Amino acid sequence: MEETPADQQHLAWLARSFGRPDYLPLSPEDLSTLSEAGEIIKKYPGTHIFKEGDSATAAFLIREGEVDLYRGPTDQREVVGRVGPGAVIGDIAMFSGQPYISSSRAVGHVTAFRFDRDRLLPKLAVSPAITLRWLVASLTQLERTQRRVLNLMHKTVLAQVAGLLVNEADDRGEVALSQATIATLLGASRQSVNEALNELKRRGQVETGYRLVRVLDEKKLRLVAAED
């Protein structure tokens, strides 16, 4: 089947954004192979990509938009993370043959690559470049989680909030998380997170908006994050 301009655009994004492009370039043959293992899906705000407990038959690579990962029923959900473009989700459960351990819900409009396990595994077996890219993307997610856990150890709430903001900020210095979500991620009370953010605002290191925190002074915020 002939590729459409949209298909070509998606493949071009894969080539420059998936994993670490500087490790191994993806050849046109690699991209064609990868496209045969997956398809583009689109999700509206509030809809699920997968749900906790479902059979993990696919993994997803987020191209556009943000996704909340949460545990528990929808009306009592505890958000455990928020991921955006370049993030791979569901792959650990898919590779291990276990059910998804969390649910994933589109925050806004989301475009993602859906890779079916039965189609993906044979492709990984014959393409070192794709396999390495996938490994790097997965390890990047794992490293972010480990940094968050380490940030929680023997730290004040102020230092924890500062560290989370440094780690989660995008290229514009923005963290698209509500105070309630930050509190859940840190295992802290919403009041203590609010107090920490107000202190960082007073110091001129951040500013806040609706479901958004903007880092104004990353250098000083890193110093706060390093405090015990």
Sign of the Cα torsion 151, 152, 154, 159 reads: positive
pLDDT digits (tens, 9 = 90+) for 129-152: 888 888 888 887 777 777 766 666
Query: Can you give the pLDDT at residue 127?
Result: 84
DSSP 164-214: HHHHH--TTSEE---HHHHHHHHT--HHHHHHHHHHHHHTTSEEEETTEEE
- The residue among 32, 38, 61, 60 whose CA lies nearest residue 127 is 32
- The residue among 61, 49, 48 whose CA lies nearest residue 13 is 61
Structural domains for the chain: 5-144 (2.60.120.10), 154-225 (1.10.10.10)
Confidence at 84, pLDDT banded by 50, 70, 90: confident
Pick 4 or 112 by higher pLDDT: 112
Q: Phi-psi region for residue 22, left (φ > 0), alpha (ψ -120 to 50) or beta? A: alpha
- Determine the Cα–Cα distance for residues 105 and 109; give it in Å rounded to an integer: 10
- Determine what percent of the chain is predicted with pLDDT higher than 70: 89
Q: Which helix (H) or strand (E) holds 6?
A: helix 5-17
The answer to whether the pTM exceeds 0.75 is no
pLDDT digits (tens, 9 = 90+) for 92-110: 899 988 999 999 999 889 9
